[in-house]
Amino acid sequence: MSAGDTERPVAATSGLPPGSIEEARALIADIPDPEIPVLTLEDLGILRGVHEEAGHLVVSLTPTYTGCPATEAIRDEVERTLAQAGHVGAQVRLTLSPPWSTDWISARGRRRLTDYGIAPPACAAGDLPGQGEHPGSAQVIRFMPRAASLSGVEATITCPRCASPHTEQLSAHSSTPCKALYRCLTCREPFDYFKPY
Amino acid sequence: MSAATQLSNTAVLDTQQTRAHQAVVLRLADSCLILAHRLSQWCGHGPMLEEDIALTNVSLDLLGQARLLLSHAGRIEGRFDDGKEGRGRSEDELAYFRNEGEFLNWTMTELPNGTGPHEDYGLTIARNAMVAALMIPLWEALASSTDPELAAIAAKSVKEARAHWRHAGEWLVRLGDGTELSHARAQAALDRLWPYANEWWQTDRLEQQAADAGIAPVLASLRPQWNERMHALLQEATLKEPRATGFISTGKLGEHSEHLGFLLAEMQSLARSHPGAQW
């Protein structure tokens, strides 16, 4: 697509000025997530790479959830940021594989989430207690409790406000599709939990 | 057989395979899209706020999967003429400008959210559980498809299908092993939906061709895994497995129940009233 672009005939043959890939990468890395603005694209782990193709910048992003409405907002923001910095004809490519996981959220991102009042996700890789897919592997809140069939234990989710491990899930679905609603049993405050994915 | 005949036979075979390829992708795409729309109809009508949000979240996941699959089906369509990537229909053209007979979703996904004038949460939950029990092994198998794009979509989607299974499964246990009334309604929902699973186990030529090319498994091959999942869940939920029937629905062949037309009229009205509208 960019090879036939007539807007920058010079760049198409001579490549980009030295350092512009690094500079563009740094710009994009700092773009905040539209849904959780304390996280940057770098913190989220969705910036897969920036490279040059026929004199134009190509940015690879990994979408988070298939239905996440923020994906398109992020793509537009990256294109706008690059255009403002003078990178005409920069392209954003969505790369599905390998699939994004909450395990890719950086250590800094996890700290920022906690400071913001959102409990960061537990590890998504492997089978943690309470993350089994079968309903029998976790505690089902029933109309009539039936102690004998309650086999699993939930992973410990720590309260982002008071750091207490005594918390309980109120709803698996919360303010956005990626979060669950929890309550701290120590400080009694409700909080969002970023679900492992 | 002359070299020329051989060559044209190969071309015919390729075209057939491309059509089979597109058909299996569309069946999956349409099933995700139509179920997403059905679940979106719960928005503002959920039995409680948390469930209202949960169902729209599941709907959003399915819509995201449908969009990726529809775009992919459009790109495959572009290869029909010359075998090269070309312009097929866009995701929006496929979703909003096809008629009833061109939709290839499984009939189960188009059934209304209840019987009669009222929505029935038990029916929605039972359907979500039955569909998710198929989608998990299906996405797992598709993750090693010979079609790399389909494999990438599958590797993402399987995570979402597991969450849907967990949500629907927990509720089916809660309803089945709940009160007398919730048990009776969950059982009635299962009895109503069970015959529609038969459609999955009917293999036609297109499905077989796609399977031979390593694109997608025939759904019948996933039946043991589906049975095992549903059996364990129904036991936990103290529900009885409905008796097998000979009823076979034909949504994936483009022959639908009377419900799809009404659903499409609602889903497509905006796009058809304002073609090309953007926001």
On whether both A180 and A124 belong to a single domain, the answer is: yes
End-to-end alpha carbon distance in chain B: 57
Chain A stretch 20-49, residues whose beta carbon is closer than 8 A to a beta carbon of chain B: none
Q: How many domains does chain A have?
A: 2
Distance of CA A73 to the CA centre of its chain: 14
| C-beta atoms of B61 and A138 within 8 A | no
Mean pLDDT of A20-38: 92
- Residue A172 inside a domain? The answer is yes
- From the options 1.20.1260.10, 3.20.20.70, 2.60.260.20, 3.90.105.10, give the CATH code of B10-273: 1.20.1260.10
Mean pLDDT of A134-157: 52
pLDDT given for residue A185 in this prediction: 95
The top-scoring range by mean pLDDT among A43-52, A119-128, A140-149 is A43-52
Residue B116 reports pLDDT greater than 90: no
| C-beta atoms of B177 and A100 within 8 A | no
| C-beta atoms of A67 and B157 within 8 A | no
CB A38 within 8 A of CB A110: no
Higher pLDDT, A131 or A62: A62
On whether both A8 and A89 belong to a single domain, the answer is: yes
On whether both A128 and A186 belong to a single domain, the answer is: yes
Nearest CB among B148, B155, B174 relative to A140 is that of B174
pLDDT given for residue B259 in this prediction: 97
As a whole number of angstroms, the distance between CA B5 and CA A182 comes to 68
Higher pLDDT, A18 or A131: A18
| C-beta atoms of B54 and A181 within 8 A | no
Segments making up each domain of chain B, as ranges: 10-273
Boundary-marking domain end, from A94, A128, A157: A94
Mean pLDDT of A134-146: 53
Does A129 contact B at CB distance below 8 Å? Answer: no
As a whole number of angstroms, the distance between CA B57 and CA B102 comes to 27
- Residue A107 inside a domain? The answer is no
Span of A24-28, A84-88, A112-116, B54-58 with lowest mean pLDDT:
A84-88
A115 exposure class (CB count in 10 Å sphere: 0-12, 13-18, 19+): exposed
Does B183 contact A at CB distance below 8 Å? Answer: no
Chain B partners within 8 Å of A139 (Cβ):
none
Residue A107 reports pLDDT greater than 70: yes
- Residue A166 inside a domain? The answer is yes
The pair of structure tokens assigned to A123 is: 């590890």
Boundary-marking domain end, from A63, A94, A125: A94
Closest-CA residue of A relative to B143 is A97
- Residue A112 inside a domain? The answer is no
pLDDT band at residue A24, thresholds of 50, 70 and 90? very high
pLDDT given for residue B276 in this prediction: 83
DSSP secondary structure code for residue A155 in this structure: P
CA neighbours closer than 13 Å in the CB half-sphere of residue B111: 24
As a whole number of angstroms, the distance between CA B14 and CA B17 comes to 5
As a whole number of angstroms, the distance between CA B260 and CA B253 comes to 14
A85 vs chain B: nearest CA distance in angstroms?
Answer: 26
Q: What angle do CA B113, B119, B121 make, to 5 degrees?
A: 80
Chain A partners within 8 Å of B178 (Cβ):
142-144
pLDDT tens track for B148-199 = 999 999 999 999 999 999 999 999 999 999 999 999 999 999 999 999 999 9
| Whole-structure pTM value | 0.86
Chain B partners within 8 Å of A136 (Cβ):
173, 232, 236
On whether both A83 and A136 belong to a single domain, the answer is: no
Nearest CB among B151, B153, B178 relative to A142 is that of B178
Chain B partners within 8 Å of A172 (Cβ):
50, 54, 166-167
Does B233 contact A at CB distance below 8 Å? Answer: yes
Higher pLDDT, B1 or A139: A139
Closest-CA residue of B relative to A181 is B50
Give the range of the structural domain holding residue A47, as residue numbers without chain letter.
2-94
Ramachandran assignment for B17, one of left (phi > 0), alpha (psi -120 to 50 degrees), beta (any other): alpha
Nearest to B129 by CA among B88, B100, B171, B168: B168
DSSP symbols for A88-145:
TT-EEEE--SSPP-GGGS-HHHHHHHHHHTEEPPPP-SS--TT--SSGGGS----SS-
As a whole number of angstroms, the distance between CA A110 and CA B120 comes to 40
CATH number for the domain harbouring residue A28: 3.30.300.130
- Residue A105 inside a domain? The answer is no
Does B179 contact A at CB distance below 8 Å? Answer: yes
Span of A59-73, A105-119, B1-15, B173-187 with lowest mean pLDDT:
B1-15
ipTM for the whole complex: 0.78
Phi first, then psi: what are they for B14, rounded to 5°?
-60, -45
Position of tokens 């079968």?
Answer: A134
